[in-house]
Chain A
Amino acid sequence: MSDELRELYQTVILDHYKKPRNYGRPDGADREAEGRNPLCGDQIKVYAKLDGERVAAVGFEGSGCAISTASASLMTEIARGKSRGEVEAIFARFHDLVTGKGTIDPASVGKLEVLAGVREFPARVKCATLAWHALEAALRGSHEPVSTE
């Protein structure tokens, strides 16, 4: 197996793919948004429960590839307890990391670092960011599904 592949499909990613965390609608969720990738037909639904400005819980539903599922699962863990502004800032850094823009210190995105290998596969960036786009829309209170296209 090539190094690129080993880097992309790390153990953590495969673990979150096979056992996604926070799957489903959390109790008391008051925000939700749908994300669609029209190119592959993948759909995801992201739920959030806000406590003032703070994200009290995040969950997701849908079926996707290992990259999009692991990214969504990791996101639900990372966003919990953060403010809306903090979630947006993490997504911005994560987006730069997977698109290979600028010089992002992988450590600045915490556990999401395991998705850094995506930058070698430009066609897969949309998989890695789908759930995040949906979470951003949910937190903004948007009811329109977000699309990667």
Chain B
Amino acid sequence: MTSSAEAIGERLSDLEVARLRADFPILDQKAHGKPLAYLDNANTTQKPRAVIDAESRFYARDYAGVHRAVYELAERATRAYESGRDAVRRLLRAPDSHEVILLRGTTEAINLVASSYGRMRLRAGDEILITAMEHHSNIVPWQLACEQFGAKLVVAPIDDRGELILEELERRIGPRTRIVAVTHVSNVLGTVNPVREIVDAAHAQNVPVLVDGAQAAPHLPVDVGALGCDFYAFSGHKIYGPSGIGALWARRELLEAMPPYHGGGSMIESVSFEKTTFAGIPAKFEAGTPNIAGTIGLAAAIDYVEAIGLERIAAHEQALLAYANDGLAELPGIRVIGTAPGKAGVLSFAIDGVHPHDVATVLDCEGVAVRAGHHCAQPLMERFGVPATVRASFGLYNTRADVDALLAGLRAVLEVFA
């Protein structure tokens, strides 16, 4: 990935973005009397009418329990649910939809792997390798596993621009390393990690790689075959789909070998008080009634972004990032955190003498929604010596006018705290 929009693909025209914005009813409102500039897309994204309608239509016409009953309605619901699984397979360019586990989101997916793969492979003295830029959801599940199995968490460092130091990561893959877990795109820095190189280094020592794709799936084309990874997790709500639905893709042989995560209905083959045998994949990892309507909404969201094209969405967001960077450079006292050459549309910064929460409150009064805080990445905040940052993050519906509102808001911040 490069910072040049042209290298990625043709970007969306202003007219197209205006048309796409109209698909998102929530964007047509004011905040504190100003037009809403929603720039918190790395946190969660807004939903197009197509997603809202798909879920509501499903409840109105096709809803029933899945995988159980023989009546027509249940068959229709099951078909719709399974086509949602296939939409995820398509999005990730995965070969086989049996390798797609539908879950609540990235957090649940990583917890599943930490627990289930952990039980299969982790023994006292083993090591789990992550990076210094991980979200808490790719740290804490591994810490829990370390505590349970007596394993050790090893962290690969990043440089001052927020880039992973690949040689340092490679040096930390040793005979006791059992898994490497890395984010595809940093939720704070925007850094796009060289997943293929990481996978090659890990596979050279027979270590599987989990990729946290929460910030990547909505912003760049993902191909798990080309990446070569073994696990890939993402969340629906960050890709314009509903909250509470997401997926884990994993290699069939791993999923088949791993023990179940949750026990309950749907994940069994037969149950007796003496012995229970488990269903095959993916059912083995989907205990209980799933988020059926959420899956339908997620499928609609995937259809929506695929119709636009992730290459073009990426190019559009790159152009906004470049525009915002140029604007920020003209303001005094602003330090951008995360200046790697290959970045997604995430812009974290600190302002001299002004706490990020105060920045966010002033921006809120200007109608600009950004996140201020540690972004569930406290170790990363420490790495850069800040308690928190302000983060503006772009989505397909953002415009230069949103960035202009951000820049005007920042001038107001500088005025208040002059």
Contact = CB atoms under 8 A, between A and B. Distances in A.
Are A and B part of the same complex?
Answer: yes
Interface of A: 1-2, 4-5, 8-9, 14, 18, 39-42, 63-67, 69, 121, 123-124, 127
A65 B271 CA distance: 57
B290 interface: no
Contacts of B372: 40
A14, A41, A64, A124, most chain B CB atoms within 10 A: A41
Contacts of B381: 41
A2 B365 contact: yes
B339 interface: no
B360 to A, nearest CB: 9
B416 A127 contact: no
Given A14-B416, A40-B373, A124-B361, 7 more contacts: A1-B412, A5-B365, A40-B388, A41-B387, A63-B355, A63-B387, A64-B355
B330 interface: no
B400 interface: no
Given A8-B361, A124-B357, A41 B416 contact: no
B362 interface: yes
Contacts of A69: 355
Nearest to B416: A9
Contact of A5 (B353, B355, B362, B378): B362
B415 interface: yes
22 contacts: A1-B416, A5-B362, A5-B416, A8-B361, A9-B417, A14-B417, A18-B353, A39-B373, A40-B356, A40-B373, A40-B387, A63-B355, A64-B355, A66-B358, A66-B417, A67-B358, A121-B361, A121-B364, A123-B361, A124-B357, A124-B361, A127-B357
Contacts of A41: 373-374, 378, 381, 387-388
A44 B322 CA distance: 37
Interface of B: 32-33, 353-358, 361-362, 364-365, 372-374, 378, 381, 387-388, 412, 415-417
Which 10 pairs of residues, A with B, have the shortest CB-CB distance? A65-B355, A65-B357, A41-B374, A66-B358, A5-B365, A40-B373, A65-B358, A2-B365, A9-B416, A41-B387
A69 B354 CA distance: 12
Contacts of A124: 357, 361
Contacts of A39: 373
A121 B358 CA distance: 11
Contact of B415 (A1, A8, A40): A1
Contacts of A64: 355
A18 B362 CA distance: 17
Contacts of A14: 416-417
Contacts of B354: 66
B361, B362, B365, B412, most chain A CB atoms within 10 A: B361
A124 B417 CA distance: 17
A41 to B, nearest CB: 4
B405 to A, nearest CB: 14
Contacts of B356: 40, 65
Contacts of B388: 40-42
Contact of B374 (A5, A18, A40): A40
B335 to A, nearest CB: 16
A14 B388 CA distance: 20
Contacts of B32: 2, 4
Nearest to A64: B355
Contacts of A40: 356-357, 372-374, 387-388
B290 to A, nearest CB: 30
B34 to A, nearest CB: 9
A54 to B, nearest CB: 33
A18 B353 CA distance: 8
